[in-house]
Amino acid sequence: MKAQELHGHLDALLLAVLEQGALHGYAIIESLRARSEGSLDLPTGTIYPALRRLERAGYVASTWSTVNGRERRTYELTDSGRRALAGERAGWHEFQLTVGRFLDPGSSSTTPA
């Protein structure tokens, strides 16, 4: 799929990935690719700036470590980030419902199963 249509939901995805445990940037990219079965193959130029955004916002915290002579910046979800993720989840569901009303065939009324 075209990953560029993530607009506005990338942050939520990153928080969701980090919810399962701290990861460094490169591993996050691989995790997204794995869990989406290859659908989400995001370039570093997308992920790294996004992570810094999230850190500036206080949703994640990073720590440097050296593994095999390679510098790694490991990101971890903060409490604030956990709350943000909950909000993102709620926003996603509303978004999904609203757009689905127009794009899904038979889900007309407000009656989710």
Partner DNA sequence: GATCGACAAGTAGCGTAGCTACGCATGAAG
Partner DNA sequence: CTTCATGCGTAGCTACGCTACTTGTCGATC
One residue of 37, 71, 106, 110 binding DNA per CB under 7 A: 71
Contact (Cβ atoms closer than 8 angstroms) between residue 40 and residue 32: yes
Q: Where are the alpha helices (DSSP H) in the chain?
A: 10-19, 25-35, 44-56, 79-103
**Minimum separation from the CB atom of position 58 to its own copies (A):** 20
Query: 65 is written with which tokens?
Result: 């470590």
Does 68 contact DNA by CB under 7 A?
yes
Q: How many residues bind its own copies (CB under 8 A)?
A: 32
Q: Which of 23, 49, 96, 107 binds its own copies (CB under 8 A)?
A: 96
Q: Give the strand order in the sheet containing 23-24.
A: 23-24, 70-77, 60-67
Binding mask 11-50 for its own copies (x = CB under 8 A): -xx--xx-----------------xxx-xx----------
| Binding flag, residue 91, its own copies (CB under 8 A) | yes
- Do residues 64 and 72 touch, judged by C-beta distance below 8 A? yes
